[in-house]
Amino acid sequence: MSQPIRFVGNDDEASLEEVSQNVLVAPFDRVLDSLDGIYNWGRKNSIWPVQFGLACCAIEMICMAASRFDIDRFGAGLFRATPRQADLMIVSGTVTKKMVPNIVRLYNQMPEPRYVLSMGACATGGGPFKEGYNVVSGIDRFIPVDVYVAGCPPTPQALLNGLVELQKLIDSQKIRENRWYQKDYRGEIPVPVLGPDLLDQRRFDELKKISAAQLAALKAAAAAPAGAAATPSAAAAAPAAGAPPAKAPKRTPEELAALKAANAARRQATMVDVRKPEDTESKS
Amino acid sequence: MTMQKVTNVSPAPMTVATPLKDVNAVAAKVNEQFPGAASVDGGSLIVERAQSVPVARLLRDDPSLGVDYLEDITSVDWPDRFDVVYNMYNTTRQEGPLRMKVKADKADPVVPSLVPVHPGANLMEREVYDLMGVKFDGHPNLKRVLLWEGFNGHPLRKDWKEAYFEEEKKPYDQRWPDGKLVRAEDRVPYKDNIVLPPGFDPSKYTAPGEDNVTLVDADALKKGEIRSDTLVINMGPQHPSTHGVFRMRLRLEGERIVDLQPVCGYLHRNHEKIGERNAWLMNMPYTDRLDYVSSMANNFAYAIAVEKLLPTVKVPERAEYLRVIMAEFTRIANHFFALGQLLSDMGAFFTPMLYGIEEREWILDLFEMSSGARMMCNYLRFGGVAKDPPDEFWPLANKLVNDRLERAIDRFDELIAQNEIVLSRAQNVGVLSRADALAFGTVGPVLRASGVPYDVRRAEPYSIYDRFDFSIPVGTVGDVYDRYLVRIAEMRESLKILRQAIKDIPGGQQYNADPAMIYGGPKGWQLKVPKGEVYGRAENPKGSLGFYLVSDGGTNPYRYHIHAPSYVNIGALNVMCKGQTVADVVIITGSLDIVLGELDR
Ligand code: SF4
């Protein structure tokens, strides 16, 4: 790489000497490295977020952009109404299953370099609504997140701090190492499907295996004599589709202990993990 | 000069304590016409399934009954049956609620649809079908509304368990068995918040198409008025002008709207299911997250609903005043935000928004002082409020009420309301007639802009609202401009209330009924609520926010349902938008002031 730069038709040492006094003559990778500073300075001071609000956090995001806090001081005030002109997605609010396909689609439409800021407890991990049946416990299950901001909702100041953190991150990046300039980089994420529940296309094989195992366990339980159906293993076969628990009469302490033990066994039995160890990294 | 309209500010009607409708008399009247159709049980009118439509029509049309306003439909899953519950009101004599119930079978729950009598039942019945699985015979478009077609099961049924299900009731036993933290995701086979039917093969699955969102062909199509092909376009759920993750499917002929179908549920956060597992008090912070622009007012509605079930809890005077002060400040903050957004929708880009938010920030300062949070205040408790505001609260509150806000409203109004463009964009656009406003069950400023002087603070006075002198602004035309004017006038009325309340508030530190019982310690948050059911509501900035609560005497609600003002208001969007242009749809939606957290719950 570090060959001197040749000037076509201008080979004599004297003129090369003269040129290098006025022109930077350096190997290409050195040039790239010194470009990083200018390139990053430009990018970090002109972040264009996509105009994208999901829930309560979005109100604080609006306040951050408005009268008192004023995001414009950071050069990031130009909220774009289309993802194609934006390089930052602030996921501000609860990510629901019904909305996830749209979020992923929007993310796919953003050009590289693009960043994601997860704002608030909901976007980061489901927040107060985590247990809800229509809530995704964290947007990072689908798209890669660069900065997390804590809070419910984070104050505008906290969000500005998140923006500063993002600026630092941008400043530390190198053109040669950026993921989106790598040869094998594929940024597109398959859009999830709304079926009986949310289906992540990247995990189809895994889902299929578990569902088949559950069906087999159910069949086995049906074939077994009646009464055996109440054993923990049969209950584990259909963890979420159980019959309504009958209103139990007052239980004795022993019964309660037995119940707790059965519950623990059920929890143990439902801990099926068919993922290969390396798959668990797919979360990031 | 364009002719300027003004809102009629009605003189304050005489405050009458609302008598609950004499249910027995109503039942007798109904039985005269339809023998054996009605009976009374626990203060509710129980109507035979086959006759519910004619009975509802009789209730509406008979002048001696006049129950013209269907506010809410919901359902309860009992061990042996489903109850479909209708809460209705009389708007002329301001009586109610009349609670009508229709029972449905457990195995195959079907009841007749009330859409022919009250068109506003359309969305509410769809919600009951979606979440509870009760079918409505004769409904024009019985489709899923908050979830999507193909979703597995009906989640509000008691036997339906979510993927991260832990136990029936909170607080959960423990999440640290043997000192090890157990996470919800470690308990489910998918390590994710999903439930799949056993044996499900995702690779063979084809999702039902978008056709499920049917657009009924408009009358115009039948009449042959349409000459060209119509075009279906989609707005949202990610669109700068839909105020959040709201979506509309429009059928257009050229630039004109032939039909419009709202599609919601993109922010459905399972509030009701979570609420039924929570202890009563634990729902308070969740109500903050309903209409997140006015969380104090949401607290208020929930608190007064639960307090109806807790007759022994007495709210101290000071707490009543504090509640009213917070609720009225919330109304002003909300209207500033809403109007700023509405004017931005008209193309003023961000400027009105900046003016609106500036005033809102001042009010948020007050909230932050008293509750510790800007937005999610979580300030009210059953029987009082969580804390007395600090001393710094009063000078700022006085300054805002007596000086700053009045001028801000004037400036806002001057700056915008006489603007030629605003007048031509807003006047006679999105007209909702008085009859339609009632039939669709709209609430709040939308209902009042259409000329119905109906305000819960007057119709069913709660807290200490009967002590204050204020009027109810009413519109004349029912267009976007009237909704704007009504909100401006409402802010002024709120200021009036605030001035009286801040002047009269009694001293002392008595801000909670019994802090030890309501607030502190495990006994406090595991409060047991006596058996019973109640429909309690408050006039929120967006309209009447109602809570239908059923208690089985335990530490958590058996049924916890929310009547969301934004949700019923979008039911009327179709009639408002027909014949308008696409650009008008944007401001009509803006004038409804919807908040998706509440709409989708
Ligand atoms: S983190 Fe809190 S404020 Fe933000 S969206 Fe979730 S519930 Fe709302």
B485 has pLDDT over 50: yes
pLDDT at A237: 39
A41 has pLDDT over 70: yes
A59 has pLDDT over 70: yes
pLDDT at A230: 43
Element (H or E) spanning B352, and its range? helix B351-371
- Per-residue HEC secondary structure of B27-91 comes to HHHHHHHCCCCEEEECCEEEECHHHHHHHHHHHHHCCCCCCCEEEEEEEEECCCCEEEEEEEEEC
Q: What does the block give as tokens for A90?
A: 């602030």
Burial classification of residue B241, based on how many CB atoms lie within 10 Å of its CB (0-12 exposed, 13-18 middle, 19 or more buried): middle
For residues B62 and B39, the answer to whether their CB atoms sit within 8 Å is: no
Q: What does the block give as tokens for B73?
A: 């439909």
Rounded distance from Cα B185 to ligand 1 centre (Å): 20
Most confident stretch, B180-194, B310-324, B533-547: B533-547
Rounded distance from Cα B125 to ligand 1 centre (Å): 28
- SS3 assignment, position B391: coil
Rounded distance from Cα B374 to ligand 1 centre (Å): 13
Which alpha helices (DSSP H) does B460-479 contain, by range?
A: none
Element (H or E) spanning B522, and its range? helix B521-525
A to B CB pairs, distance under 8 Å: 218
Residues A119-167 have pLDDT tens digits of 999 999 888 898 888 999 889 889 999 999 998 889 999 999 999 999 9
Distance from CA of B288 to the nearest CA of A (A): 10
For residues A155 and A129, the answer to whether their CB atoms sit within 8 Å is: no
Nearest CB to B289: which of A128, A197, A210?
A128
**B198-202 average pLDDT score:** 79
- Within 10 A of B221 (CB to CB), how many other CB atoms are there? 15
Tokens 């300075």 locate to A41
User: Do residue B186 and residue A128 have CB atoms under 8 angstroms apart?
Assistant: no
C-alpha distances out from residue B458 to B462, B467, B504, B540, Å: 8, 11, 20, 13
pLDDT at B14: 38
Does residue A122 line the site of ligand 1, with CB under 6 A? Answer: yes
- Report ipTM (2 d.p.): 0.85
Q: Which of B165, B183, B238, B264 to mutate to test the interface with A (most CBs of A within 10 A)?
A: B238
Chain A residues with beta carbon closer than 8 angstroms to that of B163: 133, 197, 240
Which residues is B44 bridged to in the sheet?
B41
Per-window interface: B 158-187 vs A, CB < 8 A: 158-159, 161-166, 168, 173, 177, 182, 184-187
SS3 content of chain A, % helix, strand, coil (to 5): 50, 10, 45
SS3 content of chain B, % helix, strand, coil (to 5): 40, 15, 40
Give the type of residue at B78: W
Residues B306-332 have pLDDT tens digits of 888 887 777 888 888 999 999 999 999
Phi, psi (5° rounding) for residue B536?
-115, 140
- Within 10 A of B252 (CB to CB), how many other CB atoms are there? 18
Rounded distance from Cα B216 to ligand 1 centre (Å): 36
- Within 10 A of A225 (CB to CB), how many other CB atoms are there? 6
Mean pLDDT of all residues in chain B?
A: 83
Mean pLDDT of all residues in chain A?
A: 77
Q: pLDDT class for A269, splitting at 50, 70, 90?
A: low
Rounded distance between C-alpha atoms, residue A122 and residue B238, angstroms = 18
For residues B126 and B145, the answer to whether their CB atoms sit within 8 Å is: yes
Rounded distance between C-alpha atoms, residue A197 and residue B146, angstroms = 14
**A231-247 average pLDDT score:** 41
- SS3 assignment, position B410: helix
Give strand ranges (E) for B475-590. 532-540, 543-551, 559-563
Strands B95-104 and B110-112, by their bridges, are: unpaired
Chain B residues with beta carbon closer than 8 angstroms to that of A276: none
Give the type of residue at A264: A
Q: pLDDT class for A116, splitting at 50, 70, 90?
A: very high
Chain A residues with beta carbon closer than 8 angstroms to that of B162: 131-133, 240
Per-window interface: B 246-275 vs A, CB < 8 A: 265-271, 273-274
Q: What does the block give as tokens for A114?
A: 């693009």
Residue nearest to atom 3 of ligand 1 (CA): A153
pLDDT at A279: 44
Length of chain B, in residues? 601
